[in-house]
Structure 1
Amino acid sequence: MTAAAIPAFDIGDKPSARGRIPGNHGIWVGITCEFVEFLVLFTVYFVARAHFPDAFENDAARLSIVAGTVITLLMVTSSFFIACSVATLRAGRRRASILWLLAGLVVALGYPLAKYLEIQWNVAHGIDGASGIFFTVYYYLTFTHLVHGFWGILGILWVLVRHLNNGYTAENHTGLEALASYWHATDIIWLIIFPLFYVLA
């Protein structure tokens, strides 16, 4: 992951206004870098799949669809909670916003835990990066996404600390919006990864 992809959660907070892009310029540079990075990785996925169709068709069945589904639910739920945090702060309900953000953090922390348990399950079933081209691509893509997930979790922690210290108001909460934008982008990428490896392969 390049340095440019590191999210900038609190650069130049400005008052909210209808019809504008949420967050700040820094976060959208980071999101663009994230999308470009995964566009390259998805290209690698489709090239590998075109050259080794049998491996992708047969090996996908060895993955735990339960693990993939749990991670999907965690990502979508945490993303929803963070969106609720933004919405309640815009409505002037600071306490509710903090509680929603805290809930988003708790659920988001379930992602690396679920991924760790999935890897343990994979290893127990003889699945590692040397198990074939499908699993090499699978590990590379999902681990890269996990790195972005860790950046997002660190961002949630930073924004939560600022929120608890009156860093945001109903009129000025660009940092919270930037976090929500980054986490939604990371969520969207997982919603592409999930069917490619766990459902459609």
Structure 2
Amino acid sequence: MPGVPIGEISPLGWVVLGALAALSVFAATLVLVKLVQFRRARLGDTRPAEQAMQLWRAGERGAALTTVAAAAGPRAALLRELFTALTAHPGDTAAAQARGAQRAIDDLAVLERNMRGIEAVVQAAPMLGLLGTVIGMIEAFGRLAQSTGAADPAELAGGIWTALITTALGLAIAIVFYFLSLWLEARVARERAALESLLAAVPGALAVPAPAAGRG
């Protein structure tokens, strides 16, 4: 396979390629930041929440609070708010739901932060590639117009390479980060569904049970 004739790419083409490189670095940084954030938040880890719910249903309220207090993540934070509210005001599930809903909204907002940046790269990269295409074709036809007699294909190489390379890179960047964005959004969507399920469980499963010591 022949190598890319780097010397044939025009200065304006290099400007577009530089902008595409900057966009890819920016998007890759955002993806890495989100992955670290999701890992620290224990996204998808259901064990602490399930254990705390089991303890709460069994009447072991102190142990349930301890479990969620020591755990990280939106689910643990939501249950911590619910358990605290229900312990302070037994039976007042409406107030507990309100506090829990606000906590869920805040945590989801943090998880979704900077996601728009990745989406912006997905939309901007093909446009920059198209700009490179237009620049390359303008250069190619400009050289063709300046030539006399039969056109020398070598004179058109720079513009054509600029058009093809910028288009290919723009599309490649958009495709890669489009799927990465979908994957990250899917993880946030699953967490949102889990938080909504926990909030819906408040009237029944999270109603204050009789203390374990009081059972016959």
Give the TM bin, normalised by the shorter chain: 0.3 to 0.5
TM-score for the superposition, normalised by structure 2: 0.42
Structure with larger Rg? 2
TM-score normalised by the chain length of structure 1: 0.45
- Relative contact order (C-alpha < 8 Å, sep 6+): which is higher? 1
